[in-house]
Amino acid sequence: MRRRTFALSAAASALAGLHPHAFAQGQWPERPVKLILSQPAGSGPDILARYLGEQLSRSWKQPVVIDNKPGGQNVIGAQAAARSPADGYTFYYATTAAMVTNVYTFKSLPYDPAKDFVPVRLVGRSPFLLAARADFPARTLAEVLAKAKAAPGSVSVATEGPKTFSGMLADSVAELGGVKFNHVPYTKATDAMQDVIGGRIDLVCLPDAALSAYVKGGQVRALATSTAQRLAEMPTVPSLSETFAGFEYTGWNGLFAPAGTPADVVARVNRDVEALLRQPEVVQRLQALGSIAEPKMSVAEFDAFMRAERERWSRLVQTLRIQAE
């Protein structure tokens, strides 16, 4: 009897050794789950992550803790997430900049987006807007491009910087339109808006979430959206693809896990997030926060999406002749 008991114990120990997370995952989550962010509290991604965390907390019956680690153009937060335990209790709520564009704008990074993380779930896409000050004489994108072509450098555009999403979008529009804008970078979107509303800058290129209130208030006039189709909330505003066929330029936000995180936990989080993103009230809330919900995307599909994004941005960076620093 003792020999049989010993044999069963040895077999159980061997199984546990082969699958160290097998038993623990059956009850996942048994404790709070952490979402690391590269942005400060109160920022757009932070507001989105907190809303998502609240919904998941109700589903999981466990707190979802938001851990803000801003700075270094997403490097600080991404590095912290990459070095976190791969135990299924820490995830990285990331934006396109951290997981894709930083690879092409930094000569070296202390983390590798492709190797240090596994994709979990795309949450939503973030459209951008190109808008003009209310009294700018050019009323359409075609008129803006004609004005810029007639007098190169005369049309100014405010962005968050030439190597940011908004900056690269403005430069892409100029490149495709065969014109040269006077690119004016700002560290704060609020400062950019003050100068546009005050008539010192002609155009502004920022995320829809940052500009929509000014558009609705009549302080700026939307010229185009960066999405392939027009936005539901702005049906009269053309998409850039209507001027430049096939053009689409959106940021996105999604969940990633440190490499080595148990695959069944990754699959569980993917399913739970997808269930949320199929709820109309969640979709509406995300839209109000400037994010278009992605209703269906498996882990494998998200992985393929990430590979395509890296290829797409590699081509765009080459087209815009952006040098890594």
Range of the domain at 51: 32-126+250-319
Round the average pLDDT of the chain to a whole number and report it: 89
CATH code at position 143: 3.40.190.10
Q: Are residues 92 and 160 in the same domain?
A: no
Between 101 and 77, the higher pLDDT residue: 77
Verify that 36 and 116 share a domain, yes or no: yes
- Shared domain check, 296 and 148: no
Does residue 216 sit in the same domain as residue 81?
Answer: no
**With contact defined as beta carbons under 8 Å apart, do 119 and 302 qualify?**
yes
Q: What's the length of the chain?
A: 325
Rounded Cα distance between 146 and 143, Å, is: 5
Higher pLDDT, 25 or 174: 174
Between residues 252 and 14, the one the model is more confident about: 252
296 and 158 within one domain: no
- Average pLDDT for residues 167-173, to the nearest whole number? 92
**Which of 13-27, 108-122, 206-220, 235-249 is most confident?**
108-122
Contact present, 180 and 148 (Cβ < 8 Å): yes
The mean-pLDDT minimum among 2-6, 68-72, 95-99 falls in 2-6
The predicted structure's pLDDT at residue 27: 87
4 in any annotated domain = no
Q: State the helix-helix crossing angle for 263-277 and 299-319, rounded to 10 degrees.
A: 80
**Do 141 and 202 belong to one domain?**
yes
Are 118 and 257 in the same domain?
Answer: yes
Distances in Å between the Cα of 130 and the Cα atoms of 15, 126, 167, 205, 244 are 58, 14, 11, 5, 14
Q: How many domains does the chain have?
A: 2
The predicted-structure confidence for 184-220, as pLDDT tens digits, reads as follows: 999 888 899 999 999 999 999 998 888 988 999 999 9
pLDDT the model gives residue 21? 46
What is the pLDDT averaged over residues 293-313? Answer: 94
Predicted confidence at residue 16, as pLDDT, reads: 42
As a whole number, mean pLDDT of residues 43-59 equals 93
d(CA 316, CA 265): 34
pLDDT digits (tens, 9 = 90+) for 127-151: 999 999 999 999 999 999 999 999 9
257 and 233 in one domain? no
Q: Is 34 helix (H, G, I), strand (E, B) or coil?
A: strand
Output the pLDDT for position 26: 58
Cβ within 8 Å of residue 290, ≥6 positions away: 44, 126, 127, 207, 208, 209, 210, 212
Average pLDDT over residues 254-279: 97
CA separation (Å) from 149 to 86, 144, 201, 225, 240? 53, 9, 17, 21, 18
- Whether pLDDT at 6 is above 60: no
Confidence of residue 19 (pLDDT cuts 50, 70, 90): very low
Q: Is residue 158 packed enough to be buried (19+ CB in 10 Å), middle (13-18) or exposed (0-12)?
A: buried
Together in a domain, 134 and 233: yes
Strands (DSSP E) along 98-239, which ranges? Answer: 117-133, 156-159, 182-185, 203-207, 220-225
- 16 lies in some domain: no
Is residue 263 in a domain? yes
Q: Which of 216, 242, 268 is the last residue of a domain?
A: 242
Integer angstrom CA distances of residue 135 from 196, 200, 280, 315: 10, 11, 38, 36
Sign of the CA dihedral running 35, 40, 42, 45: negative
Domain for residue 2, yes or no? no
Residue 245 has pLDDT above 50, yes or no: yes
Helix (H) or strand (E) holding 257, with range, is strand 250-258
The pLDDT of residue 35 is above 50: yes
Domain contains 288: yes
Q: What is the CA radius of gyration of the chain?
A: 23
Residue-level pLDDT at 8: 41
The CATH number of the domain holding residue 80 is 3.40.190.150
DSSP H or E run through 273: helix 263-277
Is 1 part of a structural domain of the chain?
A: no
Please say whether the beta carbons of 316 and 172 come within 8 A: yes
